[in-house]
Amino acid sequence: MVIKDVNLETVCGITSVIPLNLQPEFAFAGKSNVGKSSLINGLMNRKSYARISAEPGKTQTINFYHINDTFYLVDLPGYGYANRSKDEVRKWGTMVENYLHRSRMLRLVFLLIDIRHEASENDHMMYDWILHQGFEPIIIATKADKIKKTQLQKQISLVRNSLGISPETVLIPYSAVTKQGREEIYAVIEQNMQAEMTSID
């Protein structure tokens, strides 16, 4: 996939109305500091278009990036950051649930898990939440460059087993440094779009 055009088209806060886009949307969810903004920048082939922050929980909006005038990458706010009030967490949950439930063009949800660690309780909750909304999430195991290559399969098994996903569930190791996994993610997006075009024809 060649990325020619990127446009941050819509930013939705807690009180915003979800946009009625007419092209496919591919959403990315993950806990704070799992590397979501770095991943999205890597997919867009931009260094810092999606804001990266050392402060966990910084992204508190849903950001819609229009790609090549044909589809959207949707950056969901990170979850699981402890230094947020219960009211903020509730509002975040309502906003994300509203998007997952109401978007007519959402086609796939990618769930990011740090490949170095077991899936957390919040990861489990998000995975179940996505399933409840009718989507089978694609798992992206981030920060693959931070482990040795000889540990890769062991850590993939750790993520799979701790999250309790089946062997059929797609899991893609990803590195923001080397861009390992980027072509695989592109392929998943392209296959989904091609399948949709075929069904329309």
Selected residue with higher pLDDT from 98 and 108:
108
pLDDT the model gives residue 47: 77
pLDDT band at 195 (very low <50, low <70, confident <90, very high): confident
Q: What is the 3-state secondary structure (H, E, C) of the chain?
A: CCCCCEEEEEEECCCCCCCCCCCCEEEEEEECCCCHHHHHHHHHCCCCCCCCCCCCCCCCCEEEEEECCCEEEEECCCECCCCCCHHHHHHHHHHHHHHHHHCCCEEEEEEEEECCCCCCHHHHHHHHHHHHCCCCCEEEEECHHHCCHHHHHHHHHHHHHHHCCCCCCCEEECCCCCCCCHHHHHHHHHHHHHHHHHHHC
Most confident stretch, 12-16, 59-63, 69-73, 87-91: 69-73
Average pLDDT of the residues in 74-89: 71
Residue 170 near residue 138 (C-beta atoms within 8 A): yes
Q: State yes or no: pLDDT of 31 exceeds 70.
A: yes
- Percentage, residues of the chain above pLDDT 70: 87
What number is the average pLDDT over the span 54-67? 72
Average pLDDT over residues 108-129: 93
Cα–Cα distance, 97 to 55 (Å, whole number): 24
d(CA 174, CA 92): 26
Quick one: pLDDT at residue 100? 87
> What domains appear along the chain, each with residue ranges and CATH number?
6-200 (3.40.50.300)
User: Does residue 92 surpass a pLDDT of 80?
Assistant: no
Q: Residue 80: what pLDDT?
A: 67
- Rounded to two decimals, the pTM is 0.89
pLDDT band at 61 (very low <50, low <70, confident <90, very high): confident
Confidence label for 94 from pLDDT (cuts 50, 70 and 90): confident
Binning pLDDT at 50, 70 and 90, where does residue 199 land? low
